[in-house]
Copies of this chain bind each other. A is one copy, B any other.
Amino acid sequence: MFKLHKTLRSTKARLGILTTDHGTIDTPIFMPVGTLGSVKAVKQDDLVEHVKAQIILGNTYHLYLRPGCDIMRDAGGLHSFMEWDRPILTDSGGYQVFSLSDNRELSEKGATFQSHHDGSKHLFTPENVVETQRILGSDIMMMLDECPPWPCEYEYAKESMELTHRWAERGRKAFLDSDPHYGHQQFQFGIVQGGTYKDLRKESARFFAELNTGGIAIGGLSVGEPTELMYEMTDLNTDDLPEHKPRYLMGVGTPENLLQCVARGIDMFDCVMPTRNARNGQIFTRNGIINLRNAKWKHHHQYLDENFPSDLCRKYKMSYMHHLFRNSELLGLELASLHNLTFYLWLMEEIRSHINNDTFAGWYEGMAAQVDQRI
């Protein structure tokens, strides 16, 4: 499924193509997050035409609770339910069990939790999250893992990682013993854990390298630790991951993070930041970060960037965008969400182009500083 076309020598940046039954994905890639079967405030058509999204993400925890597996099965899976015919990756739900649900309890068997909607009790196991993701019909499914918080004691991180590994073996077996429901192939990715302890991180990466899943994710990062530590752990992990498997850094991140982590050998990213921050008026651009609510835009009757292919940049003046946000107009949320995703995908295309032209090493650090400044 994954073909590595190029690896730079100057940095660890790689160029590849991931092939699924719903289409191919150029890596490095960013995956917009469609938690509940909708990338918030963005139409599916716009994701294709304007954002140029190649793959999106759905959240198993959310979709399992609402609309639920019966409706998902009757609808013929998530692709059919949300009318999206490009690839979809779903997480296992583990992360949300720990971050959203009430009264969660961990055991060897799995994770029990109460729904954040109605208090109903549920159990996620390494096996049943495979089955749930068979019902969702995602092209790439993730294994159940425990994502420890940061900071976290060494002993906790070690035990948690070992549990994640035991769960991974069970999950792999459940995957191999089951079949897709809708005729298209599904792949399974494991998730490296180990907190921010180098020896655990290395042990976990080697464990997953051996497990021979379709791809490998790096989890447990971007959970509050300093950015430099996130970069260090990512760099460490990619050293031990098999070259010919795609590497997915979960929940990352800012445009700067994407540039820095591609340089450290990452192929895939997802994050709610472009859409969530858009809804607060924060706009990412090639020249830096803008807050549309800032009074400086009130009288700015100019377009932000007539050469950037988003409506927010070249079709509406900044004074109008400011007005929309100041008055909580839904159009502002739509235009900003669409813009930020278009920018993220544009940045990934720039990254791929620079890798392809062997100009990435000399470019990415300057670009990272540029996109990170406040303007």
Across-interface contacts of A298 in B (CB, < 8 A): 67, 71
Stoichiometry (number of copies): 2
Which stretch (A36-44, A173-181, A257-265) binds chain B? A36-44
**In the complex, what residues of B have CB within 8 A of residue A37's CB?**
320, 323
Instruction: Say if the beta carbon of A82 comes within 8 Å of chain B.
Output: yes
The reply to whether B74 and A301 form a contact with Cβ atoms under 8 Å apart is: yes
Indicate if A358 sits at the interface (CB-CB under 8 A).
no
Interface residues in A293-331 by Cβ distance below 8 A to B read 298-299, 301, 311, 315-317, 319-320, 323-324, 326-327, 329-331
Residues of B within 8 A of A320 (CB): 37, 75, 81-83
Given contacts A298-B67, A324-B38, A334-B330, contact A319 B43 (CB under 8 A): no
Q: Is the CB of A75 within 8 A of B331?
A: no
Q: Mark A316-359, 1 if CB is under 8 A from B, else 0.
A: 11011001101101110111000000000000000000000000
Report the minimal beta-carbon distance from A304 to chain B, rounded to whole angstroms. Answer: 13
Q: Does A109 contact B (CB under 8 A)?
A: no
Q: Complex: how many Å from CA A76 to CA B335?
A: 22
| A199 proximal to B (CB < 8 A) | no
A326 to B65 CA separation, bound complex (whole angstroms): 12
A: residues with CB less than 8 A from B are 36-38, 40-43, 45, 66-67, 71, 74-76, 81-83, 298-299, 301, 311, 315-317, 319-320, 323-324, 326-327, 329-331, 333-335
